Structures are given as structure tokens and as C-alpha cells.
Structure 1
């Protein structure tokens, strides 16, 4: 057996971890056994947009996976009502259990504890059977780890173990630990249901609880994140990009949603309030009245409108500065402030003159329209400090960088939020940087590197500024894979009545993504097998009530943005799609609107979901068929090489 010098160095390092034939052989046996386990269940969500109650519920119920499993195991044993009660108990054990016990006579509560514990343990056994004992052990709550492990791996049907098993359950109840034990088992079931969570972008904006969602994701045992345009603009704001900060605040004010900014991230709006009152105190700001503002009185609405206008004008100036210093972005058409005719209140855009519906611009200098006024500059300086000093926002942003990316290839699927830039004739777009051709994958890799540079290059101001400008470009640039339109018509929507000027043309991708050959070309571009792979996409809500199908390109592309955000549900007709990929195949779940957590707990109202099998595998998918399996197989091959080296004397055993 010939071993090269490089291989020998590697084997010596491996020998430090497996110092003997016995150790290497044992690990080969363990890993070979793992390869035959069913693949873990993957859960895909997209475009949550701050709707934290619906998100948390879908996370707790695994998009209906837990209820389906309860039905499989207890059909004919429990009524549908009892099955739903058990499911709700698993989702919300601390809140549901007192309500159930309140409805049961005291002398019968011990029986309820016993029955419930037996059922939960039965469920736990089914879920834990997909994992190694070691992995299950790591998921166990510390207080009950030993007892749960005993219960999971004992068979009460074996006669000589029945009394032992029953005694454990009775002792749990007799010592008053039935409630905490039920809670522990419920959360264990939630955790074991889903092996991996994939969030395909857009946690932020629209709804009030993006910060709550991010807190939950930080706690999750296994999660990845593909950035959306609404995420990247918050990441840019956290990095200190003034243009991104303006967009974050503007969108929050537009939807009367200051919860995440003020209460979630403790960012003070006082500097902006002061500017808005001083400069726009007599301005009616009709075009800037917030949407969905029924919870606010007229005075609060007017204040938000004036803040809204103040930050929008600052945003337009700062974006103009970026366009001027980055001609490579090709966004010269977005320089609009210098096209305003301040005397007759009109603007010329692409040869067409439009009257302005609001021409009160007290802070714009016609001679230098993109320069901030002294007061605006002071406001931005204070806002930048607030964003950069928000510990919670910075923690969430670091998480998005550590767990997130522009795209992900995982277990045969390609995940991305927005689009793959395409030409008008349906070809994948290519870009040239520094004389080097970049296909879509290389282009997205470059954009990701620059975005990371914008956050982390703190000691290199020029590189950091370029990176922050890139994050803004990803939010609204014409070739941004996260945005997918030729422009963001912010100025036109606020200041021009003619809606033809508001048009934002989608990237050709959205025309061609329904074609199977296009989806297959995209998969090949990212190194995927087009015959087996799928594209999982979000960003643009599926208009179900208009007849749109989320399954496109002959089943090669699945769109899982069905409208989590309430703002979109009038267009879509549903409240979001989620996807489950288990060892049997792909299941797409279409969800109806979620009423509230309170109703879910008190009345057992689950999200009504319709599940459709997208792909069913004749042969169950095992770990050996996954990306993890390929990595494990490489480790097995390395260990076999080490074993040969031990047996031939090329390397001495250390143990």
C-alpha cells in the first residue's frame, strides 16, 4: 500500500482522534449504521414578514406534521377532537395543560396524566427512531434526560418490563412532576419533528414581530437562511448604511409598524420626530399617510406622515449619492431630484413631463439637490449611531451572516429568495467584473462577499462603504437577485399621480421560470442534477385565488411565498405556503390565515392547511442519499485508509 507524504500527514492527524484499530473500527461501524437511517425531515418557510404568531405556530406544528403523525398513530383510538387536543397540548404545553386540567375532576387528573404521558412517549419513540441514540440524547432536557431515555428505549409490551415501565410513569405523577414532564416531552417532540429548518428570506417588514422571529431562530437547533431583499436592507442598516437605514424607517412608517424599530431594537425616533415637526409641521403630507393605521389617532397618524416624508426625502438624496459614486450600478435613471422643475412643480422622466402632486421640498437645494441639509445630516448621524449600537439588532445581523447566504444547495435542492437574473430572450445573464466573466452563480458569490465586506470590514472604510452600497443595491438594484425588478419607483409612487410612471418591470426570470428547460439550466449552473433537483423560491406571492400554481416548470420549481403577511392575503387568497421534505418525498402545504395564538390554545383552532404531495419516492431516502451521507462516506473512506495503515504498520497505534 503506497501512501503519499500528503496522505501520511493527514492520517497522522486522523490517528490522534482514532488512536487504535479498535477506535477506527468502532467509528466505521457507527457511521455505517447511521447511513441506513431515514433522512431527517426538512422544513421550508419563506416571506414571513414579521407575522410572528403565524410563524411560531407553523414552527410548533411542523406545518401540520405533528397532527398528521398523531392521526396515523391514534386513529381509531382517539376521536378527532381528542387528537386535536393532544396536538394543541404539544404546541403550547404550558398554556393548554391548565385549561385541560380545569375541565377534569380532581380525582381523574392522575389518570389523565398517565394516559397523556403514555401517548407522548409513544410519539417520542416514533420520532426518535429516525435518529441515533447519541443525537436524541443531546436533544433531551437536562432535568429529565435519564428518565426519558429509559422510557424511549424500553418496551412496555415485554412482560418482564411492564411493571418497571409503569412504575416510572406512576412515580412521575406521584411526585407532582407530571406537568413538567409533559412540557419536556412536548418540546422534545417539536424538536425531533424537524431535523433542519430552511428560511428562504424576508423575515422583516410588514408585520410587527420580526425581532421576535429572529430571537426564535437564534435558539433553533439547526437552521439556515437565504437572504431576502427585506433582510438585506436591515443588515445594511445594522452595518451603518444611511440609505438602508432610511429605507428601513420609511417602510416601517408606511405600514404604521414601528414595533420592531422602537420596542424590538430600542432605536430612538426622537431626532426624526424633531426634524419632521420643524420642517413639515404645516405640511398636510397627504401622500405619506400610513397604511393600516386604525390603531392610531389622527394626531399620531399625522406625525407619522410627516416623519414618513422627512425620511423619504433624505432617502432619495442618499440614494442619489450612491448612484453618482457607483456608475457601475447602471442606475443613472434613478437620479430624479435634479430633474424637478421647482417653478412649475413638474418633473421630466425619460422625455415625459409629469405634474407633481406634492411640491413642498423645503430641504432640497435646486443647485445641489442630493446634498443633505445641516439638520438632515445631524439626524442621520444620530440614527446611524442608534442602529450600530442596538445590541439586539447586531446579534440578529451577525446570525444572518453566520447562518445565511445568497443561495444554498442542500440535499439536491437549490434555495434562493428572489430570482436568477436573465436576459430578455430567456438566457442566464452574465456580468463582467475586472475583465472576468461572471455567470449567475459567480455573480451571486461576488455580491455575497461584498455584503459581508460591508458589515465586517470595519478597519477599511473604502471597502466597507462599497460593501454597504452593495447591500443597498441588493435591496433595489435592477440586476439584484434579491429584488428582481428594473427599478424601485419610490419617488414616482409618492409624487406622481399617473400610475403608468409607477411601473416596476420584473426581471425576465419571472416570465421564463415556468419553463422546465430554464429551471434545468439554472440547476446545472449551480452544479445540481437537473433530473433530480428542485428549485425552492420565494419573494413573489402566489396569487392562488387568480388560479396561479406554486408548482412550476414541470415540478422543477416550487414557489413557497403564499402570503404570510396579512398585507398580501387579499391578493393571494391564502396565508402562505410551506414545504416539508421527509424521507418519503416533498409535501407542499397551503395555509389559511391564522387567527391568533389565544384561539389556538383556548379553542384548539389550528391553521387549516391543505397538503399536496409534490413528489413521492418509491424508495425511502436514507442518510446515505443526502449531503450529510456523502460527507459521512468520505469519513468512512478516510478511516478505512487509516485502518489499512495501522494493519500494514505504516502508522503505529497510539493507544
Structure 2
């Protein structure tokens, strides 16, 4: 009965045998096209220029297409020049105009090259999909130029006439820009962001603006992303941490200029409360000189918000003992007379003992001034239109994990015990592990924004803080976040943040297979795509783990990691021929990339190549199309048997 109802519904969409048959032919033609290219990026950390360049070059996908099309007909320098033009068409055109180049001849040569490239990159898509990607102003002309016309006896004269017209009417440059951007658009079919868009680098808001304009993508939240989501939801520990990190990395402009969040409440409070405090332990990671007055103020602000964070976190840890974060309740372990703290039964000297707002009798209570600061900042974060728009996009396109075309995508880890079993993590009275843990945590994230019940909303807000730094968080995966210790205790033993057993088990193939099975994936082709942890290439570490079943693609965009890792990280390309990791050199500047025509892909590592080129039919979308073909065939059978009557005229 249910099947008949569904066929009746299909009959409304395809009322005749002819229409159902036409749709089957259309779907079958799509299924046989080559699989679209997927591009995987992770751990961007606010580095907009490097991110933008990798997005424009498709981690080398554009250069590969140029090599495929022009082979030995163009030299290395010419290919590099074509690539730079595609990445930065406006900037490159401006540079050429100033160089004294014979522009009319250059326009003609370049148009022919871009047309040929467009033909090749569009060949794996249906004409309908290409048409949707075309820039409206030039859609008809570009379609004419990139579509083969076997009926024409003199194709060269036809195309030459169109190009000559473009040159005669002075539209060569806008047309070249449109073609270059179309090539960028078609080279990558779908983008995956495997977490951590925010923090460290100076321009996460510009990255978010860029992603919101991207044609097709999904996002797996990282711990830094959920931190900002928590701040946007009004979770005060997250707000304090976001501000602290912006101060620590000298990125206060993100809040004030990028999002328009006024820091005046914190500035005023700091000037009143920490006026004579040099706050040396709360230094700013910036290139400015220490004598800079604004830098001295930022150090004091850094200390002021850190103390507020420690207080709020202590309250949350006590109120939510199942989070396993009681070890973050450190303010009541301080002897404020001797300036010592007791941790795990040992006494340590504090590097800074000036805490004017801490009452030893109630160390976690915010002072009235601190309460006022946090209330005003909370309103600012919750009422920031741009931040709320970005977080809404993260909720719409994002999740804690994703299964896509036989791959499992997540940012951090699946919490495990040393024996390889999944760790049981308590969440509000029940324990969860593996996939169920991810699912329940994501439900609470969404409750923080959409629940109609204030208690559930509050629980969701606190889960965002849990995801940021709890030992049981799949996004963090360490025993503790030793923020207090790193600021205030010299002994390195207190700074240790022990990684979850997951990270020690990564070299075992059975670990990946166990996790994949937990998320419903099996077979030789199934893989985990993982971000979060930089790969130390200079120490011989490989991004390929578990005999190729797990790939770590921390993009390494953050400059803070380059010296530590030896490279600027990895990204991943998955096209119809297979998977390859791209190892990147550190990115200098966009200006250098244009002036010197420098790219940043250093080399590629083949993960696996298929002997048979993959088609759309091998993808998740292809399986849905095959299912639809089967249903349409049933509909045609129902028409022919008389079970359902055709509805056409």
C-alpha cells in the first residue's frame, strides 16, 4: 500500500511513460559522468590569505588541469603564468597593464587558452550544472565557446568571430575574469572543512564570509569553532575564552573591527582594577615592541579576562561534575598568603600572586564589576548580527561528523580506552560512546540555539564549553586544558595535557576499522579523514595512518605551527582517479604569489589511485539516483500493467 502511494506521488511528477522514460535517460547519463573533485581543508585558524590561495588553486587541482590540457605545448613559466591568472585574475591583469605588455595580442592568446581549459573542466558535468555555474553576464557567450558544435563546418571561424567581437567592444578583461573564476568554480565540485576556522590567525570572519559564498560545502565543527558558537549563544566561559585567545594572539581587531564587539567594558574595568599590574605572565604573541602602551594595556586586559575565565570555569566544573573537569577548580587550592598552589598533592610557587578580584573565602565568585563586564559582553556577543549570521551558517552546513562517499569525516577523535574499546562518556545522567556520543552531543549543540525550554538551552550552552575542553570531548581529546598552569606555574610537569588513547592507537589498522564500522562503513575503500593535530613531518611522521585507513589533514595554516611541523600542513584531493595528499610550503603573502607567480603546493602524496575511473554512480548521490531510476522503472511498469493510469493529455 505504501509503495502504491509513493508511485502515485511519482506519477504526479512524471504523468506519462514518455516523461518517466526521459528522466531515466537523463539520470543514467549523469551516473556515467566522472565523479566530481572533493577538496578537504582543516585547521585554517584565521589565516585568510593562505586559505584563500589554497581554495583558489584547489590544492594543486588547477595546475594539474593546466598540465593535462597544455602538456608540452606550454613551458613551465607560461603554465605558472596561466595558473596565477586563474587564481588572481583582477590583480594579474592590473600587473600586466603596468608592465607595458601588448595587451591586445595577450588578450587573444589568453582567451583561447581559458576557453580550452573551460571545455576540459566542464566536461565532467551535465550541461545543466555548468549552465548554473556560469556568470549571468556572460553565460550565453561562454556556453557557446565551450560547447562542441559538430554541425559547424568551420569551427575556427565561428569561435574567432566571437573572440574578435569581445576584443572590439573592449570586454576582454571582464570576460577573462569571468572565465578564470568559472575554472576555479568547476575544478572543485565540493569542499569539506574539517574544523577549526577560528582563533590564532587574524581573519576568521573573512574566511566565514568566503565560505558563505562557496557553491557547495560541508563543515565539521572543530573545538575552536564550538568555542565561538558557545560565545554567540551567550555561554560566559566561552565568551571569556574567546576574548582571552584574541588578546593572547594579538587579534583583538577580530572582535572590534571584524565583528564590531566593543571591548570598552573590559578596558574600563582593567584600567580601574589592574592599573599598576604589569601582568608579565600574560604576554601578547605579537610583533609589536613591549614598550607599546596599547600592548601594555592588552597584557592587563589579558590577565583580567583570564581570571574571570578561571572563576566561571570553576563554577561550571562544580555544577557539572559529570564533565570530569573538577581538576580545573584551582583557585581554592591557592594559599593567598604564601603565593603557593597545591596540585595533585604537590606545592608549587605561583609566578604571579596579584589577584585583586579574588576573595579567598569565595574564590570563584565574580566581583560586582566582573559581573557587570560579563553581562555587557554577553549582550554584545548575542546581539552581534555578523557573528550570529556566521554561527547560523555553521549550524546549517555543519555537524560533529559526516559520512560522505564512503569516508568518515571528523575533527578530533573518537574517545577510546587504552585497550582499544570506546570510552564511555557521561552526558547529563547517561553514558554514551562512539557514534552515539557524537549524536547526543550534536543534539545538545542544536538545543543551545533552537530549544524552547530554557533548561535545555542552558544544558546545550554548557555542552559547547564541554566540547571545547573536557577530557571526554571528541573535539578536544586530552586529559585537561592546562591554561592556568601554563600562565602561572613554571614547572613543566603541570603543563602536560595527556592525549586520549585514540592517538596512540592510530597506527593500528584495526582501530580505524573498528571506528568505521561503528559509523556504518566497511570495506577497503572506507577511510577516516581527520583534522585537529599537526603532523610533524620534519620528525618523520606520516599523515597516513592505520595502513592508509586514516588520513590526518591538519592544514597547518597557522604560522605558530610551521617551525614545529616543518611544513604548512596537508590538504586532500579526492577526484575520479583517487586520493592524493598535498603537502604545502608556508604561504608568504598574496602580493608575492601574484608578483612572483608562486604557488604553495610543494608535493603530492598518492593515497590510492583507482584502475577504473570513478563515476557519479559510485558516489552517495549516484546511489540515490540509481534508486530513483529503479523507482521510475517501477512506475513505468505500473503504467503498462494498468495499476496506475497515465495522466498526460
TM range (shorter): over 0.9
Change (3 A) 1:511 1:83: same
**Contact 1:562-1:572 within 8 A present in 2 as well:** no
What SS does the corresponding residue of 1:144 show, helix, strand or coil?
A: helix
Query: Residue 492 of structure 2 is aligned with which of 471, 494, 499?
Result: 499
1:436-470 CA-partner distances (Å, limit 9, x unpaired): 6633100010001101111222x422111110100
Give the equivalent residue in structure 2 for 1:630: 623
**Contact 2:40-2:192 within 8 A present in 1 as well:** yes
**Contact 1:487-1:504 within 8 A present in 2 as well:** yes
Counting only pairs closer than 5 Å after superposition, residues 49-68 of structure 1 correspond to structure 2 as 49-68=45-64
Query: Residue 33 of structure 1 is aligned with which of 29, 36, 40?
Result: 29
1:564 aligns with 2:554: no
Counting only pairs closer than 5 Å after superposition, residues 431-470 of structure 1 correspond to structure 2 as 431=425, 438-457=432-451, 459-470=452-463
Query: Residue 79 of structure 2 is aligned with which of 78, 83, 94?
Result: 83
Report how far residue 156 of structure 1 moved.
8.7
**Contact 1:37-1:623 within 8 A present in 2 as well:** yes
Report how far residue 499 of structure 1 moved.
1.2
**Contact 1:255-1:293 within 8 A present in 2 as well:** no
Question: Whole-Å Cα distance in 2 between the matches of residues 478 and 376 of structure 1?
Answer: 28
Question: Whole-Å Cα distance in 2 between the matches of residues 568 and 259 of structure 1?
Answer: 22
Question: Whole-Å Cα distance in 2 between the matches of residues 456 and 271 of structure 1?
Answer: 29
Query: Residue 106 of structure 2 is aligned with which of 82, 101, 112?
Result: 112
Counting only pairs closer than 5 Å after superposition, residues 496-575 of structure 1 correspond to structure 2 as 496-575=489-568
Change (3 A) 1:606 1:324: same
Change (3 A) 1:364 1:400: same
Change (3 A) 1:338 1:32: same
Question: Whole-Å Cα distance in 2 between the matches of residues 68 and 154 of structure 1?
Answer: 23
Report how far residue 160 of structure 1 moved.
2.8
Query: Residue 11 of structure 2 is aligned with which of 12, 15, 35?
Result: 15
What SS does the corresponding residue of 1:366 show, helix, strand or coil?
A: coil
Give the equivalent residue in structure 2 for 1:98: 94
Give the equivalent residue in structure 2 for 1:241: 235
Greater Cα offset, 233-242 or 486-495:
486-495
Change (3 A) 1:507 1:615: same
**Contact 1:64-1:609 within 8 A present in 2 as well:** no
Greater Cα offset, 639-648 or 288-297:
288-297
**Contact 1:156-1:162 within 8 A present in 2 as well:** no
Change (3 A) 1:325 1:30: same
The TM-score, its normalising length taken from structure 2, stands at 0.98
Report how far residue 432 of structure 1 moved.
5.7
Question: Whole-Å Cα distance in 2 between the matches of residues 633 and 439 of structure 1?
Answer: 34
Query: Residue 409 of structure 2 is aligned with which of 397, 411, 415?
Result: 415
Counting only pairs closer than 5 Å after superposition, residues 580-591 of structure 1 correspond to structure 2 as 580-591=573-584
Give the equivalent residue in structure 2 for 1:641: 634
Report how far residue 259 of structure 1 moved.
2.3
Question: Whole-Å Cα distance in 2 between the matches of residues 409 and 507 of structure 1?
Answer: 23
Greater Cα offset, 377-386 or 159-168:
159-168
What SS does the corresponding residue of 1:512 show, helix, strand or coil?
A: coil
1:487-517 CA-partner distances (Å, limit 9, x unpaired): 0011111111111111110111110011111
Across the two proteins, how many residue pairs are aligned to each other? 648
1:242-275 CA-partner distances (Å, limit 9, x unpaired): 0000110011111111121111111111100111
Question: Whole-Å Cα distance in 2 between the matches of residues 435 and 566 of structure 1?
Answer: 41
Question: Whole-Å Cα distance in 1 between the matches of residues 643 and 151 of structure 2?
Answer: 52
Unaligned runs of 5+ in 2: none
Report how far residue 414 of structure 1 moved.
0.8
Report how far residue 608 of structure 1 moved.
4.0
Give the equivalent residue in structure 2 for 1:271: 265
Query: Residue 229 of structure 1 is aligned with which of 216, 223, 242?
Result: 223
1:143 aligns with 2:134: no
The TM-score, its normalising length taken from structure 1, stands at 0.97
What SS does the corresponding residue of 2:422 show, helix, strand or coil?
A: coil
Question: Whole-Å Cα distance in 1 between the matches of residues 290 and 491 of structure 2?
Answer: 30
**Contact 1:387-1:393 within 8 A present in 2 as well:** yes
**Contact 2:322-2:428 within 8 A present in 1 as well:** no
Displaced runs of 4+ in structure 1, greater than 6 A? none
Change (3 A) 1:137 1:547: same
Counting only pairs closer than 5 Å after superposition, residues 390-401 of structure 1 correspond to structure 2 as 390-401=384-395
What SS does the corresponding residue of 1:529 show, helix, strand or coil?
A: coil
